[in-house]
Chain A
Amino acid sequence: MKSASPRHKASLAINNTITEMQKVVDFVDQFGAAHDIPAGVTNDVNLCLDELLNNTISYGYDDPQPHSIVVNLLLTGGLLAAEVQDDGKPFDLRKAAPAAPGGTLQSRKVGGLGVHFVKALMDDVAYMRAGRHNVVRITKKLQGGTANGHS
């Protein structure tokens, strides 16, 4: 069993295409395995990174040029934080319109669902605009557990 402290940090840069997102999944899984992070925590972080990156890649850019998106993982003090840095249009997900659940199979919309998942599954969501970059940090408590296995 490894301690959640001291700090462990890792970084990954991807291009702004959907297919690049598999690299992030593998990156988070490998970081989780290396530091005995419970699979439930890494799965929630992976799901939320999927929502954040999909938003950025799908809606964050007005030009067809390639852009770099940086994902940082930080493990410290019983917390796993994932930080996404992109040079897309300013977007503070904390202020995004909430999902509109309910309705029928035919009428149901999923707009806002990704942001809803992020807010519900993470213990903290922070945002800042730093120069030309969005910086989003999501944080999940490890809740004192160590891995029982990784997916």
Chain B
Amino acid sequence: MDIAEQQAGEITIVEVKGRIDSNTAKAFGERLTSLINTGRGRLVVDLKQIIYISSAGFRALLVAGRLADETKGTLALCGLSAELQRLFDLGAFTDLFTIYGSRDESIAKLT
């Protein structure tokens, strides 16, 4: 898994590539919580290049989403493939997160 960040005004785009699984979820979650805790709490996680997310990865997303809520921040997701959307639906996560189609749409809606 690779993580890169880009800034779009006050919004931080977190671009993730690969798999968010038991081996990578910890680093993924720590990166998100670190951004929120250091004042960059308006996050869009671009999942366009994610192959799958295991339960460990969903746990990391939940923890980061709660932290963003508690600190008046934002954690939105975008770029879900059909395969990834299937996992969100199977796990009943689709309604728990703000999900946009694309990075551009996320920035437009959150700016």
Q: Which residues of A contact B (CB under 8 A)?
A: 18-19, 21-22, 25, 40, 43-44, 46-47, 50-51, 53-54, 99, 101-102, 104-106, 108, 110, 113-114, 116-117, 120-121, 151
Interface contact A110-B21, CB-CB below 8 Å: no
Q: Bound state CA distance, A73 and B58, in angstroms?
A: 27
Interface contact A53-B22, CB-CB below 8 Å: yes
Please classify how large the interface on chain B is, using the bins under 10, 10 to 19, 20 to 34, 35 or more.
20 to 34
Interface contact B52-A47, CB-CB below 8 Å: yes
Which residues in window 50-99 of B have CB below 8 A to A? Answer: 51-52, 54-56, 58-59, 62, 65-66, 69, 83, 87, 90-92, 96-97
Interface string of B8-26 (1 = CB under 8 A from A): 0000000000010111000
Residue from B21, B51, B66 within 8 A of A106 (CB atoms): B66
B97 to chain A, nearest CB (A): 7
Interface contact A51-B92, CB-CB below 8 Å: no
